[in-house]
Amino acid sequence: MTTPYYLYDLKLLEKTLQNLIFHAADYRIHYAIKANTDYKINKLITSYGLGADCVSGNEILHALKCGFSSDNIVFAGVGKTDQEISIALENNIGCFNIESFQELKVIHSIAQQMNKHANIAIRVNPNVDVDTHQYIKTGINENKFGVSIEQILELVDYIEDTNCLSLTGLHFHIGSQITNFRNFEFLAKKVNFIIDYLHNEGVEINHLNLGGGLGIDYENPTENPIADFKNYFDVFRNNLSVNSNCKVHFELGRSIVGQCGELHTKVVYIKEGINKRFAIIDAGMTDLLRPALYQAKHKIVKQSKTHPFSKLKYDIVGPICESSDVFRKDYFIEELNRGDLLVIKSCGAYGQVMCSSYNLRSQPKSYYIETENKSSLNEEIKLALPTYLSLKNLVSNNIILQ
Ligand SMILES: *Cc1c(COP(=O)(O)O)cnc(C)c1O
């Protein structure tokens, strides 16, 4: 197989999905498909009854092609174009998560022209700061996302005065790769406050979408291959005070697909610099942008362990003509030689979807470790769809959680 290529472990993805729906119980989950749009991966996710969270018109079309049902698709994004709004209306998606007053007015006018009805959730910027890289914070006032708490009532009034829009609820998304659960606790408490405030103003909220953001363990992916769904949902169970007919949705991306993908690459050259030893690999920022874009650190392992006890220090860098094309600096790993195969772990989310052809690079191919007992397992699951509760029964009866 020509390197670099992506290898996806569909068995691990399936285990992750089983763990997720078990702990989510009656919470509704949408998969944020921007994290990974691979057809096989998306197909497997739809077989577990998840909805989709889309951020472009093309993602909506792709989600439909992969089998997500249209009423289970939500559409977020600060810059939805008229054409994308028409695609969404044409396909009767479940909900628009709107991010500004002007966008709401545009959706209203297009829906009127098309004689369509649109469900609207207002994306609120809760001004909750989170412990993550500044480029993946989305819920503080200086970010471009959502509307302020003070603006909600004005938008609600506007929606109520139309006959083709309905308010379905509120939407939040505070950022990504969040591992400090206090951040989610703050979000839950802020949401309680907003719901109380709206209740006092005579507005009842029956749908809440709390976004995504649950982080994964990039340092110890082998030890912790599955995100901590249990404690994540427990934070909301313990801190969110909403009445029982309020439906609570989440939109998870990274925590579902992050650990199931690896990028395999070969060492092209070893170069001794003046103060540094470089391992130049055949994967670059065009194959995996996260290190260059967010200073993200992925674990890198050598596939054949020749001298496990003698590690050397390398800067592991790509071939692209950019100084930011660095995967790890001062990284300790077994001695590397030209031709060695390296595995970059935890590349399932925001990996292949961000590939570019800069430097006229070829696009990496995808290979898969297939699921076992695929047909029998999926039949059981299909029978249980679409309700999570019956899936949960299947899981607790040990039919799908071995
Ligand atoms: C990207 C995104 C998500 C998913 O975030 P993860 O950190 O991958 O879980 C959810 N909701 C919205 C609106 C997003 O833009």
pLDDT tens profile 66-113: 999 999 999 999 999 999 999 999 999 999 999 999 999 999 999 999
pTM: 0.92
Closest CA to 84 of 111, 64, 56, 62: 56
The candidate with the shortest Cα–Cα distance to 123, out of 153, 102, 98, 160, is: 98
Ligand 1 test: best mutation among 16, 30, 33, 53, most atoms within 8 Å of CB? 53
Per-residue pLDDT of 349-362, as tens digits, reads 999 999 999 999 99
DSSP assignment, residue 93?
-
Whether residue 168 contacts residue 208, with contact meaning beta carbons closer than 8 Å, is answered with no
Please, which pLDDT band fits residue 129 given cuts at 50, 70 and 90?
Answer: confident
Q: How far is the CA of 381 from the centre of ligand 1 (A)?
A: 26
The architecture of the domain spanning 262-369 is Beta Barrel (2.40)
Q: 143-152, 222-231, 289-298 — which is least confidently predicted?
A: 143-152
Supply the pLDDT for residue 307.
67
Total count of residues recorded for the chain: 402
Residue type, 279: A
Q: Identify the CA nearest to 263 among candidates 361, 348, 328.
A: 348
Quickly tell me which residue has 């749908």 as its tokens. Answer: 207
CA–CA distances in Å: residue 389 to residues 24, 83, 107, 140, 225: 10, 37, 34, 35, 25
Q: Smallest Cα–Cα separation from 219: which of 297, 146, 142, 286? A: 297
Task: Tell me how far the alpha carbon of residue 253 lies from the centroid of ligand 1, in angstroms.
Answer: 6
Q: Which CATH superfamily is domain 9-259 in?
A: Alanine racemase (3.20.20.10)
- Written as one letter, the residue type at 348 is G
**Beta pairing, strands 300-302 & 247-252:** unpaired
The number of helices, as runs of H, and strands, as runs of E, in the chain is 12, 16
Contact 286, 26 (CB under 8 A): no
Q: How far is the CA of 255 from the centre of ligand 1 (A)?
A: 10
Give domain limits for the chain: 9-259, 262-369, 374-402
User: Which of 136-145, 159-168, 252-261 has the lowest average pLDDT?
Assistant: 136-145
Residue nearest (by alpha carbon) to ligand 1 atom 3:
212
- Please list the residues that pair with 328 across neighbouring strands: 316
